[in-house]
A and B are shown apart, each in its own frame.
Chain A
Amino acid sequence: MTTTSTMTPAALGSRRIDPSAVVARTTPRTSLQETWVQTLSMAWRALKKMRRKPEQFFDVLIQPLLFTAMFAFIFGGAISGSVADYLPVLIPGILAQTALTVCMATGVQLREDMDKGVFDRFKSLPIARIAPLAGPMIADLIRYGIASVLTLVTGLLIGYRPGGGVLGSIGGIALTVFAGWSLAWIFTWLGTMARSAQSVQGISMMIMFPLTFLSNAFVPAETLPGWLEAFVKVNPVSHVVSAVRDLFNDGAVTAEVGWAVVGCAVVVAIFAPLAVRSYSRKM
């Protein structure tokens, strides 16, 4: 502490700063490659934070274990006649629900993070405005991965045997991860708009519950009243769940898979620009 200001001019190169040369070197915007490096750097930061705060993993560990077992034994007999018959329906449903829960955490954590002083610095740096938003989302791919694998493993333990085999299962998990990442942009957008982390949590719950329960995640859509069935059929979560079922149970890349991917891409195309705009405006 005592040797604070002994400058070593050689440390940073002793050449004097020439402002006009620096001005000449500036670029009007970030290139795609720079944006990618910046996003990865922000992902690195998010990973470091995850490692230091393992309690962040609570939701991705507990929910798959608890909900899979609980729902299978509670609803299995009523909906499909037996637990074993219900598992092919349930596991993809739980996957979607877990992915949405992880998404929600993405928005809440972003809001918390944005209130910290370091975000002032991120804003003052010549970096792409999307990097601080997209970086944590890349790190979150790990969380989606863990949650999906755990759900599947829990299912296997209570007797689920995916008909699609190893490849089908990998495909199903990959689709879940992609869907989670895409839908997370909605919650990221909320994170940049809302006043506090708590309000993000509140609004997200209001979005997440209808999206998961008003879908075919846990019950077949045909059993619902007509008006509800109509909503369930356009709910993007339903398409993701159906697509994951096709992959898991039949190993088939069906039209549903195509629709799910298109739906997710549309969500990203709408909400990623909205999120970036709202984030830049917060300056």
Chain B
Amino acid sequence: MADLSAVRAEDLVKEFGDFRAVDGIDLHVRQGEIFGVLGPNGAGKTTTLRMLATLLPIDGGHAEIFGVDVRREPHRIRQLVGVTGQYASVDEDLTARENLWLFARLQGLTGTRARAVAGDLLERFGLQEAADRPLSQFSGGMRRRLDLASSLITRPPLIFLDEPTTGLDPRTRGQMWDTIRELVTDGSTILLTTQYLDEADQLADRVAVIDRGRKVAEDTPDALKTQVGDSTLQLSLADGSDTALAANVVRRLLGEDPVLTPESGRMNVPLPDPDRAADVLIGLREAGLGISSVSVAKPTLDEVFLALTGHGADDESQMEAAR
């Protein structure tokens, strides 16, 4: 195979009735990288992943994984891809050890080998002590780890992680990130979806931003962030009616328009260089405008979205909720 791509998808389409959940998405994931698909709820991330994993029929377009046609050879694809779902897809009625044993047996490992692999994975994911307890006693983080472990039994070269840390507390999330990074050192390629720019930033080599079933951008996390400014100065004005005046000050000093929320007297100022924050603050002081709070923040997904699509990520979540 001269081609070093892990996933090559062109013009993927998925329709649910009249609703085009995925509307012509191209993805190109290189071998050995962590590729992030970033987008709000309902953007089509999970649907895209499910099509590539043969869990949903592909309605249009073409997809190959390591050169194997997804539509024509689903059985081969299933041997190449390990899927970890958004909601832990493990058997609630079995113990952790039984789950791993079952999945190993189903994938052709002998009884002895299945037992050994289950033991190894339980140890590797810190689940030995809970191995024989019912899953109902598992925390969210433990379930996710078991779910991920279940995807690794046959050491698949490509691993799909659908929102691997949604709903996890920050500490567990950090542990999950470490685990994911270590998978790549084994030679696996990872395609993950996430709602958090932070997560894409921490993990992904490259990121595709998906919005309403379309890809709106694809780049490294750094390049994406540069598009919205490296960081943001968040200001709350003491008097909300001053926002227009304050915006003028910012425009004069930085030559850029701040994002305003006049109702709450808040204003987000894109900062190409964090040093300029002081200039803005001094400028506001000189103009006699009071500030009630100030902070410097890294760009959020919302801001990346606003910059890329002209509308916020929240609209999308509401669309999803209404669906």
Binding site for B on A (CB under 8 A): 1-9, 11-13, 16-20, 22-23, 25-30, 34, 37-38, 41-42, 44-45, 48-49, 52-53, 116-127, 131, 283
| Residue contact A27 to B93, C-beta cutoff 8 Å | no
Could you list 20 examples of A-B contacts with CB < 8 Å?
A4-B175, A5-B126, A12-B186, A16-B187, A18-B157, A19-B80, A22-B157, A23-B67, A23-B157, A26-B68, A26-B80, A27-B76, A41-B105, A116-B91, A118-B92, A121-B90, A122-B106, A124-B55, A124-B81, A131-B106
**Given A22-B156, A27-B79, A37-B105 contact (CB < 8 Å):** yes
B63 within 8 A of A: no
In the complex, A235→B186 CA distance in Å?
A: 60
Given A12-B121, A30-B75 in contact, is the A41-B80 Cβ separation under 8 Å?
no
B89 pairs with A117, CB closer than 8 A:
yes
Nearest first, the 10 A-B pairs at minimum CB distance are: A17-B187, A16-B187, A126-B78, A19-B157, A11-B120, A117-B89, A5-B178, A124-B83, A121-B89, A4-B175
Output the nearest chain B residue to A40 by Cβ-Cβ distance: B105
Q: State whether A5 touches B175 (Cβ < 8 A).
A: yes
B289 → chain A closest CB, angstroms: 48
Residues on A with C-beta less than 8 A from B189 are: 19
A126 to B91, CA, bound (A): 18
Complex: A53 Cα to B139 Cα, angstroms: 23
Say how far B129's CB is from chain A's closest CB, in angstroms: 9
Shortest Cβ distance from B130 into A: residue: A1
Residues of B within 8 A of A18 (CB): 157, 187
Given that A11-B124, A12-B124, A23-B1 are contacting pairs, would A127 and B83 also be in contact in the complex, using a CB cutoff of 8 Å? no
Closest to A16 in B: B187
Take A19-B66, A117-B85 as given contacts and tell me if A1 and B94 are in contact as well, using a CB distance cutoff of 8 Å.
no
- Taken together as a complex, chains A and B put the C-alpha atoms of A42 and B175 apart, in Å, by 32
Q: Which residues of A contact B120 (CB under 8 A)?
A: 8, 11-12
User: By the criterion CB–CB under 8 Å, are B106 and A17 in contact?
Assistant: no
How many of chain B's residues have a CB under 8 angstroms from any CB in A?
Answer: 60
Chain B neighbourhood of A38, CB < 8 A: 105-106
Provided the pairs A11-B123, A28-B75 are in contact, do residues A124 and B54 lie with their beta carbons within 8 angstroms?
yes
CA distance in complex: A124, B105 (Å):
15
Which of A1, A20, A29, A127 gathers the greatest number of chain B CB atoms within 10 Å?
A1
Q: In the complex, how many angstroms separate the beta carbon of B172 from the nearest chain A beta carbon?
A: 8
Is the pair A44, B102 in contact by a Cβ cutoff of 8 Å? yes
Q: Measuring CB to CB, which residues of chain B are less than 8 angstroms from any residue of chain A?
A: 1, 6, 31, 53-57, 66-68, 73, 75-76, 78-81, 83, 85, 87-94, 98, 102-103, 105-108, 117, 120-121, 123-126, 139, 141-142, 145, 150, 152, 155-158, 175, 178-179, 182, 186-189
Please give me the residue from chain A that is nearest to B91 by CB atom: A118
Contact among B107, B123, B186 with A125 in the assembled complex (CB-CB below 8 Å): B107
A283 adjacent to B54 (CB under 8 Å): yes
Chain B residues with Cβ under 8 A from A20's Cβ?
1, 66
Given A123-B55, A124-B55, A131-B106; A22-B152 close (CB under 8 Å): no
Do A7 and B76 touch (CB < 8 A)?
A: no
Q: Are B79 and A26 in contact, with the CB atoms below 8 A? A: yes
Beta-carbon contact of A3 and B54 below 8 Å = no
Per the bound structure, the CA–CA distance linking A136 and B55 in Å amounts to: 22
Residues in chain A near residue B102, CB distance under 8 A: 41, 44-45
Across the interface, B75 reaches (CB within 8 A) one of A8, A27, A44, namely A27
Q: How far is the CB of B154 from chain A (nearest CB, A)?
A: 9
Given A118-B90, A124-B78, 13 extra CB contacts under 8 A: A5-B179, A8-B120, A18-B187, A27-B75, A41-B106, A42-B106, A49-B94, A53-B93, A117-B87, A118-B91, A121-B83, A121-B150, A127-B106
Query: How far is the CB of B177 from the nearest CB of chain A, in Å?
Result: 9
Residues of A within 8 A of B54 (CB): 123-124, 283
Q: Indicate which residue in B31, B108, B175, B178 contacts A19 across the interface (CB closer than 8 Å).
A: B31
Q: How far is the CB of B312 from chain A (nearest CB, A)?
A: 31
Closest Cβ of chain B to A109, distance in Å, is 12
By the criterion CB–CB under 8 Å, are A23 and B55 in contact? no
**Contact indicator B75/A29 (Cβ below 8 Å):** yes
What CA separation (Å) do A8 and B57 show in the bound complex?
38
> A1–B123 contact, CB under 8 A?
no
In contact, A45 and B94 (Cβ under 8 angstroms)? yes
User: Which residue in A8, A25, A37, A124 is a CB contact (below 8 Å) of B53?
Assistant: A124
Give the distance to chain A from B163, nearest Cβ to Cβ, in Å: 13
Q: How far is the CA of A125 from the CA of B175 in the complex (A)?
A: 26
How many whole Å from B161's CB to the nearest CB in chain A?
Answer: 13
Determine how close the nearest CB of chain B comes to the CB of A264; give it in whole angstroms: 28
A3, A26, A49: the one contacting B126 at CB < 8 Å is A3
Tell me, rounded to whole Å, the shortest Cβ–Cβ distance linking A112 to chain B: 11
Best-surrounded residue of B79, B92, B98 (most CB of chain A within 10 A): B79
Complex Cα spacing A283 to B91, Å: 18
* B182 with A7: CB separation less than 8 A: yes
CA distance A45 to B95 in the complex (A): 11
Task: Specify which chain A residues have a CB less than 8 angstroms from the CB of B81 in the assembled complex.
Answer: 124
List chain A residues, Cβ under 8 A from B53: 124
User: Contacts of A131 on B, CB cut-off 8 Å?
Assistant: 106
B91 touching A17, Cβ below 8 Å: no
Closest Cβ of chain B to A283, distance in Å, is: 6
Chain B residues with Cβ under 8 A from A118's Cβ? Answer: 89-92
Report the Cα distance A120→B88, complex, angstroms. Answer: 10
